[in-house]
Amino acid sequence: MKSNNNLVKGIFIGMGIMLLTAFVAEKTFTLKFSETEINKHYQKLSIIKQIVDNSNLAHQDVVFVSKSIDSLQAEILTQVKAQIETPAPAKK
**Domains identified in the chain, total number:** 1
Q: Within a domain: residue 13? A: no
- pLDDT computed for residue 7 by the predictor: 73
Cα separation values, 77 from 51, 52, 61, Å: 22, 22, 24
Q: Within a domain: residue 12? A: no
Q: Within a domain: residue 4? A: no
Q: Within a domain: residue 22? A: no
Q: Indicate the residue type of 47.
A: I
Summarize pLDDT for 28-61 with one digit per residue, the tens.
Answer: 667 778 888 888 888 988 888 888 888 888 888 8
- Residue among 64, 62, 67, 69 at smallest CA distance from 44: 69
Q: Within a domain: residue 67? A: yes
- pLDDT computed for residue 17 by the predictor: 75
How many Å apart are CA 64 and CA 76, to the nearest integer? 18
Assess whether pLDDT exceeds 70 at residue 6: yes
Domain of residue 34 covers 27-85
